[in-house]
Amino acid sequence: MENQQEMEEMTPEQLAARKQEMKEFFEEAVPFLEAQHKYEKLLAEISEYKFKRFQYDMQHASAMYQMQHPEEQESEERYAAEKEPAKESKRSLKKN
């Protein structure tokens, strides 16, 4: 709010000088922001590839484990089948 009042109290010359200062500041900041953008983008890509590699490693390890321990896979399938509720027959209303 105070900044707004200061801007309103400035002469046109002072206002033009202030605008020029702001423009120079932002123009000087752009290369740093572009470098930061590039850094953040690369960091995000690296994180994404690490996650994908981790997923692949986990899938591979799981497949290897299942190949080495097939008896556990069979017992897990039987357990899952036992836990499934029996399918109920379809009910219908009596017709008069």
Would 52 be classed as within a structural domain?
Answer: yes
CB atoms within 10 A of CB 18: 13
- Assigned domain for 18 exists: yes
pLDDT at 89: 62
Cβ neighbours of residue 66 under 8 Å, at least 6 residues apart? 72, 73
Tens of pLDDT, residue by residue over 84-93, are 665 666 777 7
At 74, list the tokens.
């069979």
Within a domain: 64: yes
Residue 36 inside a domain? The answer is yes
Domain that holds residue 38: 12-73
Q: What's the number of domains the chain is made of?
A: 1
In a domain, 4, yes or no: no
> If you average pLDDT over residues 74-90, what whole number do you get?
68
Q: What is the pLDDT of residues 2-53, one digit of tens each?
A: 677 777 788 889 999 999 999 999 999 999 999 999 999 999 999 999 999 9
Q: 22-47 burial, b for 16+ CB within 10 Å, e for fewer? A: eeeeeeeeeeeeeeeeeeeeeeeeee
